Structure 1
Amino acid sequence: MDLQVATLAERPDLAPLLDDLLGTWPRFLHHHPLSTLFYTSVAPRHPGFCLVAVERSAPDRPVAKAYSFPVSWAPGHLPPDGHDAAIMTAAGDLFDGRRGRLVVGVEVTVETGWQGRGISRVMVDAMRSNAARHGFATLLIPVRPVHKHREPEVPLAGYAARTRPDGLPADPWLRTHVRAGGQIVGIAPASMTLAAPLADWREWTGLAFDAPGPVRVPEALVPVWCDPSHDSAVYVEPNVWVRHALR
């Protein structure tokens, strides 16, 4: 495996191909209401912070991508609505002309056929190096632990605190960040919020959504709350704040 990582500022020709790069995000999150704002307004304005990996022998076929962007938060700021707050802040910064004070990373996606080869770590390292190269001292990431969906009823704080005998996090994605130099610094309890009519949830998940209360949805980190009397269900996903100090 011989990978080359570039920014979209360096490889703008690859931008149209990134939507075809499939990872393991659950289907329902593809309908997250801030996705359109991010992919159409925030990400295109920060091509120097959007990273893409290609194999040198096939330089026109992306195998991984990582999205980050500067925000005007103070370095110690950890908003409870982490992922959503980052996108809204970045959009507001662009509108008002505010300068970023740190970089937030919101996505690392590896093509399904390339997973399990350590490429996620390559992309985390690339986000760190890229943010530092732009002069930033902090990379902040609302991390979505990769195995939390197996235990949706377990509080995220307790899950994130689990460690192996070597002291590293038990969750593989959290472990990747810590190995790269990140530090777990808090929980964003309402990092991503998605509310939709029950018909949408039925289409996305194949589940009945016909009884009030929590519904276990595959790949969801916590149960989705179903309210048939109002024909809606709400998913409020917590994430783990990981801070990467870059100098």
Structure 2
Amino acid sequence: METVTLAERPDLADAVFAIPYPPGTARFTEGVLAASPVTRKRLAARWPHLVVALVDGGVVDGGAPVARGVLVPYSGAGRPELPDGGWDQVAVWAACDALDGVAADRACALEIAVHPDHLGRGLSAHVLAGMRRAVAAAGFDSFAVPLRPPDKAAEPDVPMDVYAARTREDGLPADRWLRTHVRAGGVVEGVARCSSTVVAPLAVWRGWTGLPFDRDGDVHVPGGLAPVRVSVARDVAVYVEANVWLRHRAGRGPDRGA
């Protein structure tokens, strides 16, 4: 395995962003991401030095990207350290600062994705190590993560702070994705209560999920960490997802897998 940034290997960009999401959540995740004007490819084009690719077999040997990590830089001046708006807020701050020519003094990870065919190999720890190196090279001492624990989709009605507080007998988080980050040196620092908010007409939600969306109230969708609130009369549904704030130090750091 070898980690590189897209600044080092721009030719890998298409393959990096072609890495799919797991089949059970792909339709929902891709739909939600499509609703955001701040796309991953736009971020990569602006800050390729903060997009990390994990290549199976090594770059020199013509290996293929099997995982990616996407970070953005932004300024924290006059802003909350860890905003409730999480993913959405940081993505907007990064874009606005870039347009306004504001110097960044911190970084935030917006995505880590591992190819479904390579899950269970501890590859996310390698991606995190590559992200720590990329952040250090950019001149930052740490980066924050509005973490989206996918296993919470099995319990969409449980508040995120309750879910994130669960631990095993050894004191590590009960959630496997949180546990991976903590083992890799991450520190849980809070909850971003409205990290990702999506508002769309019911026809769009039906296309994303394959569900009828024909009644008022909460609807559980495959891959959703929280219910989608539906109003048939208004022909609209709203999804508000909480994430877990973690922080990683820049540099090498531990690499102990999941």
Q: TM-score range, shorter-chain basis?
A: over 0.9
1:160 match? 164
Retained in 2: the 8 A contact 1:26–1:220? no
Q: Distance in 1 between matches of 2:162 and 2:54?
A: 34
Q: Distance in 2 between matches of 1:129 and 1:160?
A: 27
- Aligned residue among 125, 130, 135 for 1:126: 130
From the superposition, tell whether residues 16 and 242 of structure 1 become closer, same or farther in structure 2 (CA, over 3 Å).
same
Q: Which amino acid aligns with 2:38?
A: L
Q: Distance in 1 between matches of 2:98 and 2:35?
A: 16
Q: Which amino acid aligns with 2:227?
A: P
- Aligned residue among 50, 70, 73 for 2:73: 70
Query: Which structure 2 residues correspond to residues 87-166 of structure 1 after superposition, within 5 A?
Result: 87-166=91-170
2:55 match? 54
Retained in 1: the 8 A contact 2:150–2:223? no
Give the unaligned 5+ runs of structure 1: none
- Aligned residue among 150, 174, 178 for 1:174: 178
2:205 match? 201
* Shift of residue 210, structure 1, vs aligned partner: 0.8
2:29 match? 29
Query: Which structure 2 residues correspond to residues 212-223 of structure 1 after superposition, within 5 A?
Result: 212-223=216-227
From the superposition, tell whether residues 103 and 34 of structure 1 become closer, same or farther in structure 2 (CA, over 3 Å).
farther
TM-score, normalised relative to structure 2:
0.90
* Shift of residue 34, structure 1, vs aligned partner: 5.7
Cα deviation 1:33-60 (Å, max 9, x = unaligned) = 5644233433211000001111226534
Q: Which amino acid aligns with 1:10?
A: E
Q: Which amino acid aligns with 1:219?
A: G
Give the unaligned 5+ runs of structure 2: 252-258
* Shift of residue 29, structure 1, vs aligned partner: 3.0
Q: Which amino acid aligns with 1:59?
A: G
Retained in 2: the 8 A contact 1:68–1:105? yes
Retained in 2: the 8 A contact 1:216–1:223? yes
TM-score, normalised relative to structure 1:
0.93
Cα deviation 1:85-127 (Å, max 9, x = unaligned) = 1110110011011111111001111111111100011111211
1:80 match? 84
State the secondary structure of the residue aligned to 1:203.
helix
Q: Which amino acid aligns with 2:82?
A: L
Q: Which amino acid aligns with 2:2?
A: Q
What percentage of aligned pairs have identical amino acids? 43
Retained in 2: the 8 A contact 1:34–1:87? no
* Shift of residue 76, structure 1, vs aligned partner: 6.4
Q: Tell me how large the CA RMSD over aligned residues is.
A: 1.7
